[in-house]
Amino acid sequence: MKYLWKKLDVASFLTAIYTGIVCLFYFYLYITQKASLNVLFFFFVLCFFYFLFLPISKKLNQMEGFHGQVLSRNKKILTFALVSVLTFLFLMIWFIAYYPGAFSEDSINQYTQAITGNYNDWHPVWHTLLFFTLPLKLFGKPSAIILLQILYFSLLIGYMALTICELWNIKAAFFSVVYIVMNPYTCVILLFPWKDVAFGMGALLCTILSVQLALKEKVPSKNWKLLLLGVFISSTTVFRHNAILFTATLLVALFFWIDKKSWIKILLFSCVSLFIIKIPIYHILNVEKPDQRVIETTGLPLTVIGNVAKETPYLMDDKLSDFVYTMASPEQWANNYNCGNFNSIKWSGINTSIVEEEGLLGMLKLMFKCFHLSPNASLQAAFALTDIVYGFETGLKGDVQPYIADSSLYEIHYPPTHNQSLLDFIYAYTRFIDTTVFKYLRTYGITLLVMLFITLSRMHFKSWISWKKTFFVLPIFLYDFGTMLLLTGPDSRFFYVTFLVAPLIITVTMHKKEE
């Protein structure tokens, strides 16, 4: 037994366990709840994936790490410019086809704030200022909002490609750019001026700067670099109300890489920038602060309760029944609620004030009561809601399509005739990706699995450098698995950041940093 344990490949074993648990969720909920069959299924899946991962893991572990390369000034400029321009031109296909862009109800709300000057922090005002007010002040057209966002993104992808070139090689940079830019999801989501896009770009930029400080800087960094990183960390934190899950963990990871004086400066610059944004700037603009709504942090409990109310109402006790039928009638639950999507009933005129009365603790108690009274319906709802993050067959779940809400309000609308040749190309290209093996490249669960597997395969458990590299993986995992608990429906845009940071995280694990 001791001999077998020594021969065990830890990376393959742990990744197989992770994969087996995900597969077991599907098997238990949709095939059978019989315990013995579930145990046998899990054992089979564990063995199958262990031996599938084993040769790949050994090869990755034995690979010599990459030292990177030193590029001349001209090569740096050429790499950055070429990737930025090509990215911009490719994304312009979607922009021209769907001119002037895509504006959801949230986007129209932020557009209204930008032109009226009446700001409300329900949608982060810092994002509204940078991505709505600034383009409108400069160019006066709503299309400028989308065009500038695409420009920012293209420059950022160029910067990422340059960084990967320096840390790894040009081949890795090429595949990283193709993976992100040629994903149809990227092309569509960039048509929306959503905070999720801004957060994704901010998170990627903060990760790039942090990785450069950790792997490239041989002496204490200059103060202006630390200041820039601090400002970008604070801005990224403000772009999403739960972005702190990513930025705080990234700061912790950076703590183990750079000298403590530099790290304290970054932390100080971040805090000062955050204070300036949230206090003086917001005060000058008379920003209205939204009420703290419990419903925005109880997505999982509401989804679980909703499925129990629809599927097994006869199992509910008096307390749970009072809550459920105060919120909505039995007919509303039966006709409007869809498993794993509380949003399906949320906007149909139900009484959500009862959620505020219960509070966060009360909602959690009701959720645990559901798991006790109706475990199968509760598990089904929880899995249907959260598998968008870790599921392997959820590439199209929560997809987004361009549209303009309230087009008559500000006369933001699509022209009477679209460029049909571009639309035909987009439909054909998207269908090709979505119906072939390439669909897995736009699935969050596969992306997280690949990052986990490569990180574990490259681990040398007696090397402190190796442990420090794993810390760069933690921000995206903590953000994704933390955010999924707040979901009220399949909002795939919340996790777009996963696609953006994945290539850089893999680059860190493959880089050879001396002890």
| pLDDT tens column, 7-18 | 788 899 999 999
Choice between 295 and 236, residue whose per-residue pLDDT is larger: 236
Q: Sorting pLDDT into bands at 50, 70 and 90, what band is 515?
A: very low
Tokens of 87: 């990215």
DSSP class per residue in 114-139: HHH---BTTS-HHHHIIIIIHHHHHH
Choice between 400 and 499, residue whose per-residue pLDDT is larger: 499
In the chain, DSSP finds a helix count (H) and a strand count (E) of 26, 0
Q: Are 12 and 54 in contact (CB under 8 A)?
A: yes
What is the reported pLDDT for 220? 65
Asked which of 6-15, 43-52, 253-262, 317-326 is least confident by mean pLDDT, the reply is 6-15
Asked which of 61-65, 87-91, 161-165, 426-430 is least confident by mean pLDDT, the reply is 61-65
What is the reported pLDDT for 248? 96
What does the alpha-carbon distance between residue 338 and residue 187 come to, in Å, rounded to a whole number?
29
Q: Which amino acid, one-letter code, is at 199?
A: F
What is the reported pLDDT for 461? 82
What does the alpha-carbon distance between residue 201 and residue 432 come to, in Å, rounded to a whole number?
27
Q: Sorting pLDDT into bands at 50, 70 and 90, what band is 289?
A: confident
Residue 70 CA, distance from chain mean position: 32
What is the reported pLDDT for 99? 92
- Residue 359 phi/psi, 5-degree rounding, is 80, 170
> pLDDT by residue (tens digit) across 204-222?
999 999 999 988 766 566 8
Nearest to 186 by CA among 487, 437, 497: 497
> pLDDT by residue (tens digit) across 302-333?
999 999 999 999 999 999 999 999 999 989 99
Q: Sorting pLDDT into bands at 50, 70 and 90, what band is 292?
A: low
Dihedral sign from CA coordinates of 299, 304, 310, 313: negative
* Burial per residue of 197-231, b for 16 or more beta-carbon CB atoms within 10 angstroms, e otherwise: bbbbbbbbbbbbbbbbbbbeeeeebeeebbbbbbb
Q: Sorting pLDDT into bands at 50, 70 and 90, what band is 452?
A: very high
- Residue 490 phi/psi, 5-degree rounding, is -75, 70
Tokens of 202: 């901010």
What is the reported pLDDT for 164? 94
Please give the average per-residue pLDDT across 10-27, as a whole number. 92
What does the alpha-carbon distance between residue 402 and residue 273 come to, in Å, rounded to a whole number?
34
Triad 81, 85, 88: Cα angle to 5°: 140
Dihedral sign from CA coordinates of 418, 424, 429, 431: positive
On the question of pLDDT at 372 being above 50, the answer is yes
For the beta carbon of residue 451, count every other beta carbon within 10 angstroms.
21
Q: Are 119 and 286 in contact (CB under 8 A)?
A: yes
> pLDDT by residue (tens digit) across 95-113?
999 999 999 999 999 999 9
Choice between 219 and 491, residue whose per-residue pLDDT is larger: 491
Three-state DSSP class for 25?
helix
> pLDDT by residue (tens digit) across 103-162?
999 999 999 999 999 999 888 999 999 999 999 999 989 999 999 999 999 999 999 999
On the question of pLDDT at 437 being above 70, the answer is yes
Q: How many CA atoms lie within 13 A of 302 on its CB side?
A: 31
What is the reported pLDDT for 505? 95
What does the alpha-carbon distance between residue 40 and residue 488 come to, in Å, rounded to a whole number?
34
> pLDDT by residue (tens digit) across 188-206?
999 999 999 999 999 999 9
Instruction: Write down the residue that tokens 């020594």 correspond to.
Output: 6
Q: Sorting pLDDT into bands at 50, 70 and 90, what band is 396?
A: low
Q: Any residues with CB less than 8 A from the CB of 168 and at least 6 apart, and which? A: 66, 68, 507, 510, 511
The neighbouring-strand residues paired with 120 are 288
DSSP class per residue in 442-477: G-HHHHHHHHHHHHHHT--TT-HHHHHHHHTTHHHH
Please give the average per-residue pLDDT across 282-307, as a whole number. 87
Three-state DSSP class for 404?
strand
Q: How many CA atoms lie within 13 A of 37 on its CB side?
A: 9
Nearest to 19 by CA among 51, 65, 66: 51
On the question of pLDDT at 280 being above 70, the answer is yes
- Residue 338 phi/psi, 5-degree rounding, is -110, 135
Please give the average per-residue pLDDT across 422-428, as a whole number. 92
What is the reported pLDDT for 466? 86
pTM reported for the whole predicted model = 0.93
Q: Sorting pLDDT into bands at 50, 70 and 90, what band is 68?
A: confident
Angle separating helix axes 223-239 and 195-215, nearest 10 degrees: 150
Nearest to 406 by CA among 111, 113, 191: 111
DSSP class per residue in 306-329: HHHHHH-GGG--HHHHHHHHHHS-
Instruction: Write down the residue that tokens 């030292």 correspond to.
Output: 67
Tokens of 309: 């109310």
> From residue 488, how far is each of 249, 294, 381, 480, 491 by CA, in Å?
24, 12, 11, 14, 8
What is the reported pLDDT for 288? 87
